[in-house]
Structure 1
Amino acid sequence: MTSASCLVQPSGSARAPRVCRAYIAVVESDVDVILSKAARGVVSRAAELADQLSQLLSVKVPELTEYEDIVTLGGASIADNIAVWGDALENGLDLTRVEAPLSFVEYARRFAREGGRISTLLRTYRYGQAGLLRAMLAEMNRLTKDPELINAATVKLSGMILSFIDRTSEQAVAAYQEERDRWVQRRLSLVNEANVRVGTTLDIAGTADELAAVGTDYFADLVAVDLLDSALLERDAEPVPGPPTLHRVAQRSVWEGCPDSVVRTGQSYICPEGSEPAQVLATGQPWRWRLDGSKPPAWLTQSPDHRAVVAEYGIHSVLVLPLQARGKTLGLAQFFRHRTAASFSDDDLLLAQEITKRTAVYIDNARRYTHERSTALTLQRSLLQRRPPEQSAVEVASRYQPAGSHAGVGGDWYDVIPLSGARVALVVGDVIGHGIHASATMGRLRMAVRTLADVDLPPDELLTHLDDVVVRLQQEESPAEDEISATCLYAVYDPVSRVCSLASAGHVPPRVVLPAVAGSAPAAAAPPDLPIGPPLGLGGLPFETVELELPEGSLLALYTDGLTEHRSRTTGDEIDVLSHALTQPATSLERVCDTVLGALLPDLPQDDVALLLARTRALDVGRVAAWDIPSDPAAVAGARRNASEQLAAWGLEECAFITELIVSELVTNAIRYGRPPVRLRLIHDRSLVCEVSDASSTAPHLRRARLFDEGGRGLMLVAQLAQRWGTRHSREGKIIWTEQDLPRR
């Protein structure tokens, strides 16, 4: 009985439904049999069929060729699909209830990890299932020629396949999305980790090393950061023509010591012209390479050492990204994989781009900071005293330590200024603030102090004039700039009287260590009873001078507050440490400086530090001669005679003639224009000093005498005969002094 005869049976016949049901049962049985046999045949040539489907997918979905690992796993997934189908159909199971093979779910996860699109995954799946369906149809056509049976089997198989595809596609999409969500979370976590770990310092090499550390911790086996030489030399320098020269500033590897890198940290190399890294530098576009059977890039194997490293460690995937910030290309970041099996994916490229973009900004900030700090430090050191001047009043040693913090170089300074009468001025100051502006302001104030010191003002008067200078500088500044403020300590030591005069404008007082008495330990370092005046720049407030009589060999320590400001200790503890360091036995002041800095600055200071140490000397009484001069012009001859005899006693007969002329002119002027008492003093120091003092505060002025003028030529003569001359005022009047270089023996 055929299906047609069943359909035309009279409707009133009771036998027709039973006959049709029986026929349907027979057909269904035949369909199950033919499907089972076809499935057995497909499974028997599963390997061949899997290979055919893989080749079909490579043609229909060419994007898969970019993912070698996915293609390999895809073949295994197809084979597992064939096994699942065959087992279900061969055993008469309902294919709509069969779960997708684990390899297919893993295939979807791997596809997500490699950055493939979900549309590509679904197309791959549809082509694969369609290929299996065609294989089943071909096998059924080989087993039977009955078109009705083939049609019925095809209808049943298509229904099951469509349901199987729908359900397993949902599983694949869920696995893909789960993996993508996990990757997005990982990406956000890594970006957040990079934000925390990269850019913590304003050091170029340190920032580059932080990028390399993050890269090797998460998705690369070797990371190298190379900067253009032009980017390291100047902040805005343009690259020189020709092949770019790169300097490796940092690299990290999963292997200790970076044996998988030929170029070492700190080395420079020339990037081959036309190579992929050179193109990345020129175009600013990233470049990616993976081992797909082709030869490695020429630049990666340009030397035997490079070829040996690639071969030994099996480098199979490379990312090269430009480091760009503010429109400038700074260098390259290179990521390599050799221990990790998977190649760099599109998502890895996006992740590396996001991290390197941020790092490039941090590196550029570090470059700008380093450039500004270097400029400020160069300016600072050029304005500081490079070596102490020759003088006999004190033995000096000094140190300047720039700040190690992000604040930058400040405005600390020190100075040693020789004064008339064998005296010396010791100066320490601090401009509030940091950077080039603070350094420049420091230079202006230092020159102002030197100019005022030449006038030989007492310390309190000098600070008053310096305060006026700072006020005027504030008035010249624009409203947008920070207000200028500074502190200063000015001290004058006289080796003849052994008196030290000090005044402070908001500055920390010095420490004084008196020499040890025979058989006893050195006295503790103590500050003098010095009133601390207001900082410079307030205007109109007074300063006070304090005088100390210091025994020969006393130690004066002048410093800025950066020396005693440390986060781990209180100010009182710092002062105790300083006092202890100053009283330690040492062979020289240089050793004392090292001891002080070693005790107080174990690491880079948070603020600039200026330290000036001075050990006092006393001028022997035999090198000083003084006479009171009567207020009588006849006394000039006696003054000349006394001076000549004293020079003979010192063995300076060669200076007698000029000295007599100078003494004659200065004493005559003091008697004629000054007020008694008049006093003459000679000092035999590094030079021959002649001083004439009187009680008048009126200072003489050098002028050009006219042809018929009876006077006005004496001071001109003195200026011509002496190497240096000048006037200084005191509370008792004024002193006219001259200096003559001693004859060379």
Structure 2
Amino acid sequence: MGTDAHVFLSDLARGLVPRADELVDVVLRHLLDELPEVWKYEDIASVAPVALSEHIAAVLDFLERDLDMTKVRTPPAAIEFARRLAEHGVPISKLLRVHRLVHARLLDQLYTESVRVAGSQELINATTLTLSAMAFEYADRTAEQAVAAYQRERDRWLQRRLIVINEAGTRIGTTLDTARTARELADVGADHLADLVTVDLLCSALQEEGTYPAAGPATLRRIAQAASDSSPAPAVVTGQTHTYPEDSEPAQVLATGQPLRLRITSTDIPPWLAMSADHELALRALGLRSMLLVPLWARGNPLGLAQFVRRETAEPFDDDELLLAQEIASRAAVNIDNARRYTQERSTALTLQRSLLPHHVPDESAAETAVETASRYLPSGSRAGVGGDWFDVIPLSGARVALVVGDVIGHGLHAAATMGRLRTAVRTLADIDLTPDELLTHLDDVVIRLQREEERGTDEISATCLYAVYDPVSRTCSMASAGHLPPAVVSPPTADDDAGASHASHAVHFPELPIGPPLGLGGLPFETAQFELLPGSRLVLYTDGLVQSRSRDLETALALLRDVLARAPASLEETCDKLLSALLPGRPADDVALLVAQTAALDADHVATWDLPSDPAVVSKARTHASDQLTAWGLEELAFTTELLVSELVTNAIRYGKSPIQLRMILQSALTCEVSDASSTAPHLRRARVSDEGGRGLLLVAQLTEHWGTRHNREGKVIWAEQLIPASLTEQSSAVG
């Protein structure tokens, strides 16, 4: 009966060959009903009937001649159909669905025809089984080849996109000149994407003050344009200004920051594009087809608009090309913003250079071990200019890190200069390892001294500051506030949370922190609060510009802050953007400083601690402890220097300090040796005379280490010394750790 089924199918296929066009029409109508979105692309719609005809012809040929299914090859037009889908960025799932619908509909037609002409139920059953097996094998083989063609084309398109993006990165932003950067954007767009590209910048973005545009239609200046030889001159020439109606598409793009893709015909040219009767006639003669309106935004502010135009001789823009244009424009916007900021703020920078004290930015490797940070600073949108908000991340001894956020009351150069002086003072005080409350007490004295130095008639200096110290070894955070809002603490996801969720809910709370007086009042105490943080916790420090608004009270703003952080994404950068987007939908009325720090815990095997008796005989044992630990860490080459440091520090603690004495070694980006005791007397470096038997220990420590120092705590003091780990030992110690 199997042979009878094959013979029957061969006769059936032979009879259907003259009706192949009818089968094509039936299947094509079915596809149009099921997947209308695929046919919006003209080139896809034109190749689809050819591909379908070739498919049906191939199927009938295989049935008629009973060919070997291993020789199945996807028809060329069907391969081209898959490639066209890939070029337009149509998901591969659409291709597979088209494939399933075609073969299912064709198989249904074959089933119907076989039932109609078969003479017996037995033959119908045998034919159905044979036809199903052959159809599924044919569909599988042709689908596999079509998917391979789709993927090859998609890979080529992505490669071309990367080439264009890389070229844009090389060609755009070669100088700190706004007009030239805009011309470079237009040239790249005309070379790779469009027949005509124009770049307009907001006049407000080009003003020296850098203020926000006034209410009403925005005024733009045509900065650059690039076009093919056959394209008409734009209605607005370079250097002229123009506006768009508030309800027009360009105004919408400028206001929302979202790009638009438009289809344009010669008979339906929007009024905002045809700015004069003569220009409208030129556009009609040219025959426009498609346009991209891409905003130029940088650092959350609109700068202008780029327009990409194609004529009717080219394919209309698709979604992937919109993304490519947006990527190029975004990079150009950052360069344009950098250029205009350089031009506008040069005189301000010169003034600040004379006002700010010089400071040195230390190595940040220790800070990166303790926390991962992301930050944002937004100046106010008023004419007051730069303000006095600031934040800082300061590495401390013992793998700790200080997180600082502060706000000098007022705006302008005076506030900015004061901010720079206070930031320098905080770094200086942090360098001597003061506790948070003691540091704010000294900083309060600095502000009072600055007030006394001010000329009469100037605004009184006042500031707020939050100073926090995180220790990744003990996972404790100590902080004190001088009139500053407490930070938000975001707990890491628990074991019960869905690890695969991209926005899992987090517990958010504001720690109980005694709020001290603002800096500059004098005579009032500050208090330090201490609490433990789980690894992966986030500290969110901010200035009041983020939460204070005329349109809502503080409690409402903090509730919104908590809600955003509870659903914060894994990326710290995205968290900053989400906070600014939710809390500052418009221009900020005050400066905003935001610092988000995610804590880490130093692995237990990177810390070694020994309690030592106050006995000179224990010095040799301390050296042995240190040497054994270096061996465990794979740092034997540092043994000689480390043993010498440990010997000097432990001897110093036994001779001049008090019990209990403790030795601690910390391995991170550097090797730190610490010796603590209960005495508050701090050692100091002095020059030993030739006849002195001692006094050379700390001099030796200073010569052998990169950094060393003393920090005080409630129980006494800690003397620490830090050695850099040679690059040749870094990988080895990491593997051992």
Q: TM-score, normalised by structure 2?
A: 0.52
SS at match of 1:613: strand
Instruction: Kindly report which structure 2 residues correspond to 1:336-485, keeping only aligned pairs within 5 A, or say none.
Output: 389-391=364-366, 392-485=369-462
Q: Aligned AA for 1:446? A: R
Pick the aligned partner of 1:579 from 557, 562, 571: 562
Shift of 1:387: 11
SS at match of 1:562: helix
SS at match of 1:422: coil
| TM-aligned CA distance change 1:540 to 1:636, over 3 Å | same
Q: Which has the larger radius of gyration?
A: 1
Name the counterpart of 1:659. Answer: 642
Shift of 1:576: 1.8
2:472 counterpart of 1:489: no
Name the counterpart of 1:264. Answer: 239
| TM-aligned CA distance change 1:428 to 1:258, over 3 Å | farther
Instruction: Kindly report which structure 2 residues correspond to 1:315-334, keeping only aligned pairs within 5 A, or say none.
Output: none
Instruction: Kindly report which structure 2 residues correspond to 1:340-739, keeping only aligned pairs within 5 A, or say none.
Output: 389-391=364-366, 392-520=369-497, 522-739=505-722
Instruction: Kindly report which structure 2 residues correspond to 1:140-219, keeping only aligned pairs within 5 A, or say none.
Output: 203=207
Name the counterpart of 2:142. Answer: none
- Asked if the contact 1:379–1:439 (Cα under 8 Å) also holds between the matched residues in 2, the reply is no
Partners in 2 of 1:719 and 1:581 — Cα distance? 48
Partners in 2 of 1:200 and 1:636 — Cα distance? 70
Q: Aligned AA for 1:666? A: L
Partners in 2 of 1:380 and 1:509 — Cα distance? 30
Partners in 2 of 1:492 and 1:691 — Cα distance? 18
Q: Aligned AA for 1:485? A: S
- Asked if the contact 1:375–1:436 (Cα under 8 Å) also holds between the matched residues in 2, the reply is no
SS at match of 2:701: helix
Instruction: Kindly report which structure 2 residues correspond to 1:94-113, keeping only aligned pairs within 5 A, or say none.
Output: none
Query: Which structure 1 residue ranges, 5 or more long, are not aligned?
Result: 1-198, 215-223, 227-246, 250-256, 268-307, 313-367
Shift of 1:265: 3.0
- Asked if the contact 1:644–1:656 (Cα under 8 Å) also holds between the matched residues in 2, the reply is yes
Shift of 1:390: 1.8
Shift of 1:375: 6.5
Q: Aligned AA for 2:442? A: H
Partners in 2 of 1:445 and 1:524 — Cα distance? 34
Shift of 1:587: 3.1
Shift of 1:202: 11
Residues 252-272 of structure 1 show CA distances to partners (whole Å, capped at 9, x for unaligned) of xxxxx99776553379xxxxx
Partners in 2 of 1:720 and 1:248 — Cα distance? 59
Partners in 2 of 1:564 and 1:708 — Cα distance? 65
Residues 422-478 of structure 1 show CA distances to partners (whole Å, capped at 9, x for unaligned) of 000000000001011111100100010000001100000000000000000000000
- Asked if the contact 2:377–2:593 (Cα under 8 Å) also holds between the matched residues in 1, the reply is yes
Shift of 1:524: 3.0
| TM-aligned CA distance change 1:645 to 1:609, over 3 Å | same
Q: Aligned AA for 2:530? A: E
Residues 538-561 of structure 1 show CA distances to partners (whole Å, capped at 9, x for unaligned) of 011100000011111111000000
| TM-aligned CA distance change 1:208 to 1:588, over 3 Å | closer
Partners in 1 of 2:360 and 2:465 — Cα distance? 16
| TM-aligned CA distance change 1:209 to 1:717, over 3 Å | closer
Shift of 1:407: 2.5
| TM-aligned CA distance change 1:633 to 1:212, over 3 Å | closer
- Asked if the contact 1:453–1:462 (Cα under 8 Å) also holds between the matched residues in 2, the reply is yes
| TM-aligned CA distance change 1:205 to 1:459, over 3 Å | closer
Partners in 2 of 1:208 and 1:530 — Cα distance? 37
Shift of 1:388: 8.7
- Asked if the contact 1:380–1:411 (Cα under 8 Å) also holds between the matched residues in 2, the reply is no
SS at match of 1:420: coil
| TM-aligned CA distance change 1:451 to 1:647, over 3 Å | same
- Asked if the contact 1:384–1:413 (Cα under 8 Å) also holds between the matched residues in 2, the reply is no
Partners in 1 of 2:210 and 2:540 — Cα distance? 36
SS at match of 1:536: coil
Shift of 1:570: 2.5
Partners in 1 of 2:578 and 2:526 — Cα distance? 33
| TM-aligned CA distance change 1:513 to 1:225, over 3 Å | closer
Partners in 1 of 2:713 and 2:692 — Cα distance? 31
Partners in 2 of 1:515 and 1:369 — Cα distance? 43
Shift of 1:566: 2.6
Q: How many residues align?
A: 415
Shift of 1:496: 0.7
- Asked if the contact 2:568–2:578 (Cα under 8 Å) also holds between the matched residues in 1, the reply is no
Shift of 1:630: 1.1
2:721 counterpart of 1:744: no
Partners in 2 of 1:602 and 1:213 — Cα distance? 19
| TM-aligned CA distance change 1:678 to 1:571, over 3 Å | same
| TM-aligned CA distance change 1:263 to 1:426, over 3 Å | closer
- Asked if the contact 2:478–2:529 (Cα under 8 Å) also holds between the matched residues in 1, the reply is yes
Partners in 1 of 2:523 and 2:614 — Cα distance? 40
- Asked if the contact 2:464–2:519 (Cα under 8 Å) also holds between the matched residues in 1, the reply is yes
Partners in 2 of 1:430 and 1:697 — Cα distance? 34
| TM-aligned CA distance change 1:708 to 1:727, over 3 Å | same
Partners in 2 of 1:211 and 1:523 — Cα distance? 40
| TM-aligned CA distance change 1:570 to 1:259, over 3 Å | same
SS at match of 1:421: coil
Partners in 2 of 1:719 and 1:641 — Cα distance? 22
| TM-aligned CA distance change 1:544 to 1:248, over 3 Å | same
- Asked if the contact 2:405–2:467 (Cα under 8 Å) also holds between the matched residues in 1, the reply is yes
Q: Aligned AA for 1:549? A: E
Greater alpha carbon shift after TM alignment, 463-472 vs 387-396: 387-396
Q: Aligned AA for 1:626? A: T
| TM-aligned CA distance change 1:557 to 1:480, over 3 Å | same
Residues 90-140 of structure 1 show CA distances to partners (whole Å, capped at 9, x for unaligned) of xxxxxxxxxxxxxxxxxxxxxxxxxxxxxxxxxxxxxxxxxxxxxxxxxxx
- Asked if the contact 2:209–2:383 (Cα under 8 Å) also holds between the matched residues in 1, the reply is no
| TM-aligned CA distance change 1:388 to 1:690, over 3 Å | closer
- Asked if the contact 1:373–1:409 (Cα under 8 Å) also holds between the matched residues in 2, the reply is no
Shift of 1:684: 1.0
| TM-aligned CA distance change 1:614 to 1:681, over 3 Å | same
| TM-aligned CA distance change 1:408 to 1:372, over 3 Å | farther
Shift of 1:522: 3.8
Partners in 2 of 1:522 and 1:515 — Cα distance? 9
Q: Aligned AA for 2:384? A: A
Shift of 1:210: 8.8
| TM-aligned CA distance change 1:578 to 1:372, over 3 Å | farther
Q: Aligned AA for 1:466? A: L
- Asked if the contact 2:676–2:717 (Cα under 8 Å) also holds between the matched residues in 1, the reply is yes
Q: Once superposed, what is the RMSD of the aligned Cα atoms?
A: 3.8
